[in-house]
Amino acid sequence: MRYQGRITTWNDDKGFITPNGGGERVFVHISALSSRQRRPQGNELVTYECVTDGKGRAQAKAVAFVGERAVAPASSGRSALPAVFAIGFLAFIAAMVFSGRLPVAILGLYIVASVVAFIAYGADKSAAVRNAWRTQESTLHLFGLLGGWPGALAAQRMFRHKSSKTSFQTTYWITVALNCAALGWLLSPAGARTLQSVLGAA
């Protein structure tokens, strides 16, 4: 059965629908929207199916803006290319370390930064669900820029967090490009000399 209501609260990637005719609000996540090209701003009239989550709370599924066709959003249509890229990147770093082109510290940096980024994304996702204090997007991007972008990518996929926000994804992939560019410079003769001098001074 489909219901009709209005999105009366929206924050980043989640919100609540107030049913027409009254009743308790229904939680809605962006992954439940039929149309990913249009993000809610609040006060939109929608139709939806109502289910309960593992804790017995009402949750909206197959949400469609009034006037648009309601289809269940595909959850398995995600491209595997970004994940393959991240795994291949870490394998490349490991190969450079074993060949002596990069110090072990660089591989350690990527692993530690990825773990920190993964935890930060998971904590922010949990805070979003609980309406608690959120981690700033600039902080999440900083973790990626410092080498944690593979872990951030894994968290985006696993937690379905920040993966549908276009502006965030644009900035995220810019940090990935900058980080890869910095790594490329470290592999150059000038970068290698600079890195050796920094590690020698430490």
CATH number for the domain whose boundaries are 2-65:
2.40.50.140
Token pair in block for residue 4: 């009709």
CA distance 196 to 111: 21
Kindly report the number of other CB atoms within 10 A of residue 73's CB atom.
Answer: 17
User: What is the pLDDT, as a whole number, of residue 95?
Assistant: 95
Kindly report the number of other CB atoms within 10 A of residue 105's CB atom.
Answer: 11
pLDDT tens over the chain, length 202 residues: 788 999 988 887 888 999 987 888 899 888 888 766 677 877 889 898 988 877 778 888 888 888 655 444 444 445 678 888 899 999 999 999 999 999 999 999 999 999 999 999 999 888 877 767 888 999 999 999 999 999 999 999 888 788 778 889 999 999 999 999 999 999 999 988 888 888 776 5
Q: In sequence order, which residues have a C-beta less than 8 Å from that of residue 61 and are 6 or more positions away?
A: 32, 48, 49, 50, 51, 72
Say if residues 195 and 189 touch (Cβ distance below 8 Å).
Answer: no
User: What is the pLDDT, as a whole number, of residue 21?
Assistant: 79
Q: Cite the residue boundaries of each domain of the chain with CATH code 2.40.50.140.
A: 2-65
DSSP class per residue in 13-82: TEEEEEETT----EEEEGGGBS-SSS---S--EEEEEEEE-TTS-EEEEEEEETTS---PPPSS---SHH
